Chains A and B, each alone.
Chain A
């Protein structure tokens, strides 16, 4: 693949960063903001209906969810949910701690704080909010942060409640646990001021770090989530939801830019072939007959169910285009299949660009062309095997999507896959999804409130840099690196905690050198949470392990999620060598190398050091070994 020049294709990226807050209570009730592990039976079940929004129109995305007509089951752990989450009690007043944190972040990002904050109801009817809406408030607007490539506009900062956790999903029911519902989230949206994939990650990191520096952010997996708005010139604004890891951001951006570029190419090809929108008609053909003796297991299984059939639509002029790759491993046909799945609830589609295959024979493909009167040289055929009602909906969506190919890139909301590709989720929601939460009075932002928030405003980076060099003794380079790390707040906490016991440079280096280098080696470092980093450093501070062992222990932590740090240390055999053992090791080394030492007296130290360290590395501090070796050599009479 040729290198894409992102400036040239007019890439624009905007970010939406969501950070969970670690407040004493939830945003609108008195439950703690902790999650529950207890597996519970479903406590209650509900259905949702779309409500008319303020504009009097039911939103397209909302309607889509409703059409799926899902039953929602909710697990309601008693220690972390109450009647408010169950939508059986009106919300309580907003958590002041959360509000202050939001105001502090707003100030740190040079934003204009709204004079009177109004909590809104944002319609969300996938069941993740028991009420059918998410409570959210716009707290501040029009700020900026500085990136090395320039100013990044910060459009909005919202304070909102997190949704329930999805536990499982079946055809007719989705199960959620409502412990997470109501945990405060800060949502920061940037302007589309980002022009390349790496910059997107850098800015996301900066924003996440800023919020964490208030000391009120939650840490760990799932506590920061980022959505990306991506477009290229001539393409369309596409929202990618649920990018879980920062380091995936550049890849998602690259893949989406590529997809839009390829879709534009696809459009040009269709135009060249003379395909017009009116040629793409929804004309469904029952082709069950073609497959009555098929070898395809999938089709045979469908045909054995009552009402199961095979249905086809022709996409005139699309021959070969469905097999065109848009993202690594994802073709235009995959896009069509996504639409079919989402709108028709079918398992997938078959299309002639990938046939014969999957047990479908060349003969059947020929019959398919015959039956649909399509041209084998020019047209593509999409088939769906399912109950007729679902198949019709699925193929309708396929045809609609195919028609959109003629205009290029459709505006849509996509979900991030773990490999950095994306899949179609739903149309982009309209703006008609909000109305006031009348149960919560508007919050008048007084000067007292703003100054109280001032106590949480993070220290500016320049001042931090200067302080890290002067007070912590970091090199400028290391200080800069730690300032650019998401775990900056952890660094500050640990430096304070282990002051005088572990040098700040060791802590900084663990975060900005050790972990990234483990990632480069393919270690799953996302499993290393802040607590285990602290656990490792704690052992170093106690002298239980040497600082040289940190990389190896952290690698162990990453590979054994859930295991105690102490157990990993024991299993790796990294426990410290006692002083007596060290002395013994040195004595033995001297004895073994007596001749060498005598021969090269000036090299004695190096010789013994390297011998001892062969055994002691990682188990005892190198400085201590040097000290003991010098001591022993001094007393050595040759």
Chain B
């Protein structure tokens, strides 16, 4: 079905015949004699089958009118060309750190497009400054869009692209890189950058928002300020995620990308560090950074970054569940997958009947990593016999790594380091970016409220 700005059928025909486009002013006379004047709105394709024409009235409300009741539609005037916002020149304040903001798509920097009703990203420094003028006091910054992909559509090849762009910025001598990224898959990308550029001289800061930036309550300005503060002066040089620390607009947290996870579908403080503490608390109002966790890589402009940016997209992340069929894994082997990460139960288990399948995968040169769907705690394959049988079959125990991080790491090893099973095992078990934490103290497990 062909759509005309989301409209179909009679509505589309009527609009086309008078040459009306979204943003144009129309006069609609209904058969009962009532008259509506307003701006034609585009239609969300999802509802295009309804016989409805959407107008924005002068009082600001949108209404949908049934085409069956419309007697006449007249085009009153064509859309006004909106003046482009006056760009604010980037202030060069000497002595301020230099930061680059890279856009990837997502809601950190977006606004409602009044013509389409959709959300579109903004990413010129001028537009961003217009909205968060405080950034000019934190750093001199550049901004550009490296891609425009919804977080959920991110693929390993995008990590390669982002890695190269970040590497370029690092070579150009910036004091930090901020990456605006959708929150859904943010921890995957942050993990990817932890591995793809080692020996980073400056931090790479992922930032996003849980409330879109078109709304007054958006968390994105707050998060952006915290991210800029982190990028410009944090003492560490790791791939981190900077987001709200709690539901209040009080402080932000810098989580180590490889240890971070989105733990809530919608809250501002959705990101949490698992099996580790966040690196730092950031107060965007005072600009203060308080280190609360361990720093693995310190900021040091003298360091030489190494770029290894290939990711293998033939890696699968499989959750273990009661009734998991062997076929699921067999298919991966038969289809020639290069690696498998299992999200096992408890200490790292899976149904005993599947152990031979795992052995077959390993025999086929496919590395298999075991993680735990408990998320908190460490995998240990020595405690129960199933675990011992899995070890025997050649499974690589993932220690306390997050399943998602294990997936990214395996993809990176296979793409950038080696596909030799022994080498893969060796590199996987090497702590590259703090993805393993050797010591779990009692305070690393959250206490829920029990009244």
B171 → chain A closest CB, angstroms: 35
A122 interface residue (CB < 8 Å to B): yes
Q: Which residue of A lies closest to B67 (CB)?
A: A115
User: Considering only CB atoms and an 8 Å cut-off, how many residues of chain B contact the other chain?
Assistant: 49
Residues of A within 8 A of B46 (CB): 441
In the complex where A52-B111, A88-B267, A115-B69 touch, is A132 in contact with B63 (Cβ < 8 A)? no
Decide yes or no whether B91 CB sits under 8 A from chain A.
no
Nearest CB in chain B: distance from A594 CB, A: 75
- B64-88 vs A: 1/0 string, CB under 8 Å? 1110010000000000001101000
Q: Would A49 and B117 be within 8 Å (CB), given that A56-B85, A431-B60, A444-B52 are in contact?
A: no
**A133 with B60: CB separation less than 8 A:** no
Contact of A442 (CB < 8 Å), options: B47, B58, B119? B47
Q: In the bound complex, do residue A115 and residue B52 qualify as a contact, i.e. CB atoms below 8 Å apart?
A: yes
- CB <8 Å contact, B82 and A47: no
B12 within 8 A of partner (CB): no
Does the CB pair B47–A123 fall under 8 Å?
no
B64 touches A133 (CB 8 A): no
**Distance from A87 Cβ to chain B, minimum over Cβ atoms (Å):** 5
Residues of chain B with a CB closer than 8 A to A441's CB:
46-47
Judge if A83 is at the interface, Cβ distance under 8 Å.
yes
A114 and B63: CB pair below 8 A? yes
- Closest chain-B Cβ to A141's Cβ sits at a distance in Å of 8
Q: Are A132 and B216 in contact (CB under 8 A)?
A: yes
B264 to chain A: closest residue by CB: A88
B248 to chain A, nearest CB (A): 4
Chain A interface, DSSP helix/strand/loop, else mixed: loop
Contact between B59 and A131 (Cβ–Cβ < 8 Å)? no
Q: How far is the CA of A502 from the CA of B115 in the complex (A)?
A: 63
Assuming the contacts A56-B85, A434-B61, asked whether A83 and B267 have C-beta atoms less than 8 A apart, the reply is yes
Cα–Cα, bound, A206→B41 (Å): 36
Known A-B contacts A115-B65, A122-B60, A435-B114; A49 and B214 likewise in contact (beta carbons under 8 Å): no
CB-nearest residue of chain A relative to B247?
A: A44
Q: Is the CB of A132 within 8 A of B217?
A: yes
Minimum C-beta distance from B399 to chain A (A): 33
Contact of A52 with B112 in the complex, beta carbons under 8 Å: yes
Whether A525 is near chain B, meaning CB under 8 Å from some CB there, is no
| B218 lies within 8 A of chain A by Cβ | yes
Any A CB within 8 A of the CB of B385: no
Which A86-125 residues sit within 8 Å CB-CB of chain B? 86-90, 112, 114-118, 120-123, 125
- The answer to whether A115 touches B248 (Cβ under 8 A) is no
B214 nearest CB neighbor, chain A only: A51
Q: Provide the bound-state CA to CA distance between A74 and B211, in Å.
A: 18
Give the interface size bracket for A toward B: 35 or more
Provided the pairs A46-B249, A125-B216, A131-B215 are in contact, do residues A138 and B57 lie with their beta carbons within 8 angstroms? Answer: yes
Determine whether A10 belongs to the interface, using a CB cutoff of 8 Å to chain B: no
Of residues 393 through 439 on chain A, the ones whose CB sits less than 8 Å from some CB of chain B are: 431-436, 438
* Neighbour of A46 across the interface among B131, B217, B266, CB < 8 A: B217
B62 to chain A, nearest CB (A): 4
The answer to whether A45 touches B249 (Cβ under 8 A) is: yes
Most buried by A among B61, B111, B218: B61
**Inter-chain contacts of B64 with A (CB < 8 A):** 114-118, 442, 444
Taking a contact as CB atoms under 8 Å apart, the answer to whether B266 and A51 are in contact is no
A90 touches B266 (CB 8 A): yes
* Cβ-based interface call for A130 (8 A): yes
Question: A44 and B111 in contact (CB under 8 A), knowing A51-B215, A56-B82, A116-B64?
Answer: no
Q: Which of B56, B111, B247, B267 contacts A51 (CB 8 A)?
A: B111
Q: Is B54 an interface residue (CB 8 A)?
A: yes
Q: Is the CB of A118 within 8 A of B63?
A: yes
**Which B206-262 residues sit within 8 Å CB-CB of chain A?**
210-211, 213-218, 221-222, 246-250
Can you pick out 10 interface pairs between chain A and chain B where the beta carbons lie within 8 Å of each other?
A47-B222, A50-B216, A56-B82, A56-B85, A56-B114, A88-B266, A88-B268, A112-B34, A120-B60, A442-B47
Chain B: residues with CB nearer than 8 A to chain A?
32, 34, 41, 44, 46-47, 50, 52, 54, 56-66, 69, 82-83, 85, 111-112, 114, 117, 119, 131, 210-211, 213-218, 221-222, 246-250, 265-268
